[in-house]
Structure 1
Amino acid sequence: MNYDYTAEDRLEQPHKYMYARFGGKAFLTAYMADRRARCDALPGSAPGGDDAARVTGALQDPALSNLGIRIAPDAAGQDKPSADLRPLDSFSVDATIETSELLEALFDAQFAQRDEAARAFWLRRLTQRFEVSKKLYQRYPPGFRKGDGPNDDIRLYALFSLTLALAWHVQPQLQHLSTLLKLNDLLLSLPPERLTNAFPADGVRLSVATELNAITRLANEQGIRLGHD
């Protein structure tokens, strides 16, 4: 059995995920093999290695500096400290929102575990927007419904994926995992060089490792044992 959700460029050809049939353990095995193969193809991977054990240690790094993730690069190409980011609770659906600014603030707040109410609100709103079209737009006008501008900024999808992975790590919610799966389908459907030119490979690996660990745990709870073979 093949895992078809990454078979095409999902940035160009989004999958609707409508009435998908469950293929049992064979489907889950194909899914996990596809995830591992695509992570192995990312620059810096050790084919056949277990990236999960290595990259999940990054959660102990307050700045995620060992992932080289640029949370909010300034005009000179340098990372801004968290103190220079716009506060998450300063965003409002009544104003136009630049998606990159919102995601940077949301990621920072999620990692630092602050602004709980604002985190929950914006995770929910961004999830809703993505689930409707499987797209994230450059900006959202007042009302935060119909997006505006380009929708092909890979960094936005990757940063949202990693933010959801952190959210799952702290407080698992199935909706977060469902959206995380779709975001990672999109990201891993892209050529490896294109993906990692937009976002650090270890950031992608961390998100995928979180997803795989979650799926394995849920499968185990249903009596389905998923191994590495």
Structure 2
Amino acid sequence: MSAIDYPYSQGDRLEERNTYFYSQYHGAAFFPVWQASRQAALAHLPPAQALPLPTAGEQLESAQDTAALLADLLNTAADAPGKRRLAERLLQRFEVSKRLHRRYDSDFKAVASSGYDDLDLYLQFAALCLHHAEQPGALPFLNGLLKVIDSLISVQQHLSPPQGAQLAWLISAEHDWVARIAARATVEITP
């Protein structure tokens, strides 16, 4: 096997959060261990099923309900005026804390008492990252997708069967996105 390890999806990454700081560069040798992590997860997940589009409803307020925000963003074109900035702010909050809280205040600071254990939010956030895949400057969303999938794999034993099927679908979509970028850069990764 390989001397490279992929620790990012091991343990409970909602509690023992990854920092990804000072991650060693391994070049193309990284792809097989990343893929092995995903394949190991898929071996324990139900068959893939796309996430249902959440129902957009309530008007967004200055204090953001994360589920309502995700529903709004997923039901709107990724390039809609003002929506990209909201998606980027939520992405930034996730990048800083590696958590998604149920609520954020008007400055997009987490309302700590709202909790961060709603796994549906992480699945919807991953879908939001994919929603931006074809937009210019989408690499920060790919970065967020990789990390949220690491977190979801680390807690996959807590996913319901439908959530597990959704994670399987997200892993496939993540691979497709990485493969498209690799092909454009003429970097070969195995399927």
Unaligned segments of structure 1, at least 5 residues:
46-50, 56-66, 73-81
Is 2:103 the counterpart of 1:139? yes
Is 2:149 the counterpart of 1:184? yes
The two structures, once aligned, show a CA RMSD in angstroms of: 2.3
What fraction of aligned residue pairs are identical, expressed as a percent? 27
- The match for 2:171 is 208
- The match for 1:71 is 54
Is 2:60 the counterpart of 1:91? yes
TM-score normalized by structure 2? Answer: 0.85
The answer (yes or no) to whether the contact 2:13–2:154 under 8 Å persists in 1 is: yes
The answer (yes or no) to whether the contact 1:136–1:147 under 8 Å persists in 2 is: no
Unaligned segments of structure 2, at least 5 residues:
none
- The match for 1:16 is 19
Q: CA deviation at 1:171?
A: 5.2
Task: Encode CA deviations 1:123-178: one digit per residue, 9 max, x unaligned.
Answer: 11101111111111111122222433211111111101011112214556111101
After the TM superposition, list the runs of 4 or more consecutive aligned residues in structure 1 that deviate by more than 6 angstroms.
none
* Distance in 2 separating the partners of 1:29 and 1:207: 18
Kindly name which structure, 1 or 2, has the bigger radius of gyration based on alpha carbons.
1
Which one of the candidate residues 122, 125, 137 is aligned to 2:86? 122
Is 2:5 the counterpart of 1:2? yes
* Distance in 2 separating the partners of 1:196 and 1:39: 14
Which one of the candidate residues 160, 169, 176 is aligned to 1:196? 160
Question: Compared with structure 1, are the counterparts of its residues 41 and 169 closer, same or farther at alpha carbon in structure 2 (3 Å cutoff)?
Answer: farther
Paired residues, number: 187
Question: Compared with structure 1, are the counterparts of its residues 14 and 68 closer, same or farther at alpha carbon in structure 2 (3 Å cutoff)?
Answer: closer
- The match for 1:153 is 118
Which letter maps to 1:16?
T
The answer (yes or no) to whether the contact 2:65–2:104 under 8 Å persists in 1 is: yes
Question: Compared with structure 1, are the counterparts of its residues 25 and 115 closer, same or farther at alpha carbon in structure 2 (3 Å cutoff)?
Answer: closer
* Distance in 2 separating the partners of 1:12 and 1:70: 28
Q: CA deviation at 1:224?
A: 2.8
Which letter maps to 1:91?
L
Q: CA deviation at 1:68?
A: 6.3
* Distance in 2 separating the partners of 1:166 and 1:201: 20
Which letter maps to 1:39?
L
Which letter maps to 1:210?
A
